[in-house]
Amino acid sequence: MDLDVGKWLRIHASRIKIIVVMNKDELLDQFSGSLAAASGEAYTLGFGDPIALSADTGLGMIELHATLRPILEDYVLHVLKKDLQDSGSLGDEENDSKLPLQLAIVGRPNEGKSTLLNATLLENRVLVEPEADLTRDSIRVQF
């Protein structure tokens, strides 16, 4: 199913920057035998090198930040440049609302999506428990 989703994204969302993140890095050895095996599987999706992290312990969050930062900076610079061309100034309140980073965290059940969201927001916004299917609805958060 992961390969099918990857194929669909390449066809229908070619303008979206996809970053593959393997959460629960501390458990990868238990499930697949090694981190290398898990990253090899994630690499076959065709979106570049996956980022291995543990949102629970913070391991790999620096690498995720290092990957996201230039994308956000490029986007902000593009929006600011467009605003300057359109209005000639940045004084409008409306300009502040034009700087959204839209981030989707998707994955298999019980893979740490809620923990990753909480770690990204630096707050406990979403409930996190060991059992699967705790979060059933999509969550929209501004940060």
Across 33-108, the runs of DSSP E, i.e. the strands, are 51-52
| Percentage of the chain modeled with pLDDT above 70 | 78
Which residues lie below 8 Å from residue 142, measured CB to CB, with a gap of 6+?
none
Q: What is the pLDDT of residue 66?
A: 93
Query: Within 13 A of 91's CA, how many CA atoms are on the CB side?
Result: 3
CA 80 vs CA 10, 16, 107: distances in Å: 28, 20, 33
pLDDT at 142: 78
pLDDT digits (tens, 9 = 90+) for 24-72: 766 655 555 566 666 777 888 888 888 888 888 888 889 999 998 998 8
Domains of the chain, residue spans: 2-121
The listed range with the strongest mean pLDDT (9-13, 74-78, 95-99, 139-143) is: 9-13
Give the count of alpha carbons within 13 A of 85, CB side only.
6
* Residue located via tokens 């609805």: 137
